[in-house]
Amino acid sequence: MSEKTKVLIIGSGPAGYTAAIYAARAGLKPVLFTGGQPGGQLTTTNDVENFPGYPEGINGPQMMIDLQKQAERFGTVINYGLVTGVDFSGYPHKVTVDENRTVEAEAVIIATGASAKYLGLPSEEKYANRGVSACAVCDGYFYRGKEVAVVGAGDSAAEESTYLSKLCTKVHLIVRREEMRASKIMQQRVLNTPNIEIHWNSETEEVLGDDQGVNGVRVRNNKTGEKKVIPIQGFFLAIGHKPNTDIFKGQLDMDEAGYLKVTPGSTHTNVEGVFAVGDVADKVYRQAVTAAGSGCMGALDAEKFLAAREMEMAHS
Ligand code: NDP
């Protein structure tokens, strides 16, 4: 037997919770499935300094706890479950949770976000959770007093290196070009931190280790061809993210990178009654505040869609 709901929200980052707050306050009694990382990407960051309304900044995980409480306060039902499949071919829409539970929904708001990318090296996989991590804030503590490396050159790499520099004796930042794409202010922080060493034009060839876990990384200078081994105990990836859209393949329109396509200026996907909000449909801005804003749009779009349907049914 399927469970039934009016509005089903997939994902629990700022986009999902904001959609829940708005849908709940509109009396739609939304049901939200958190996914595998309750709270989303902000649970892997420390201070969020750019969310309006927090002059002193706010701790990412705390912000997500607050958003969850706010969504629950208005009647959102939060479920700790992973949506493993969807069927948008008929109506109502069908969603499978944890492989064995089916929920039918009149409107679905997708807020599944994006996940950290890896380089794709076999050695990276071999040492996963034994020295390789894609989240400095989650795992940095385990490497206090040790030497680590961070790969990447964007704001994440800058932020994670700076964060790790406070815990670790030394941070090696491995940058594949001769410049970073991180914002000037974040680059400046990196350059002003004495225990961060930047390895320019460097590509990771292999993560090295033994039974104890990671003990080094071999990098190659792509200008000179020179190779060197940097002794480290922790290897952190900060090379961007991939949208979490695998379960929607073949059902929803997406771009070449897998981001869901929406009608510009709205959250409508190509399927009626299915809305996409937050990073899953945004490869440009990717901010907590823009995700929250689009979560609000998704709830308003869903509300309008449901009201129009009800009107149609009443007149038919
Ligand atoms: P980005 O996509 O901005 O940057 C990814 C970085 O990883 C690039 O510098 C890229 O190099 C490098 N890279 C990609 N693939 C590889 C590879 N195979 N080997 C080596 N290097 C690689 O991702 P971020 O996660 O840094 O940032 C995403 C968004 O989030 C941005 O808009 C950013 O501004 C924002 N952000 C904001 C923060 C804040 O304001 N506090 C904190 C963190 C992120 P290349 O430059 O050569 O392409």
- Domain spans in the chain, listed from the N-terminal domain onward: 3-115+241-315, 118-237
Which segments of the chain have a pLDDT < 70?
45-46
User: Within a 10 A sphere around the Cβ of 303, how many other Cβ atoms?
Assistant: 19
Report the pLDDT value the prediction gives residue 47, as an integer from 0 to 100. 75
Q: Is 118-237 the same fold as 3-115+241-315? A: yes
pLDDT score, position 42: 84
CATH code of the region 3-115+241-315: 3.50.50.60
139 is catalytic: yes
Pocket test for ligand 1, best of 41, 46, 47, 156 (most atoms within 8 A of CB): 156
Residue 155 bears catalytic tag: no
Pairing of strands 114-116, 58-59: unpaired
Write the CATH number of the domain with boundaries 118-237.
3.50.50.60
Q: At what angle do helices 60-73 and 14-25 cross, to 10 degrees?
A: 20
Measured from CB, residues less than 6 Å from any atom of ligand 1 are: 50, 119, 151-157, 159, 176-177, 181, 238-240, 286
Q: What mean pLDDT is reported for the chain? A: 95
* pLDDT at 208 (0 to 100): 98
From 184, 146, 183, 186, select the one nearest 166 (Cα to Cα): 146
Say how many C-beta atoms besides its own lie within 10 A of residue 99's C-beta: 8
Distance of CA 153 from the midpoint of ligand 1 (Å)? 6
Which pTM value belongs to this model? 0.77
168 as an active site residue: the answer is: no
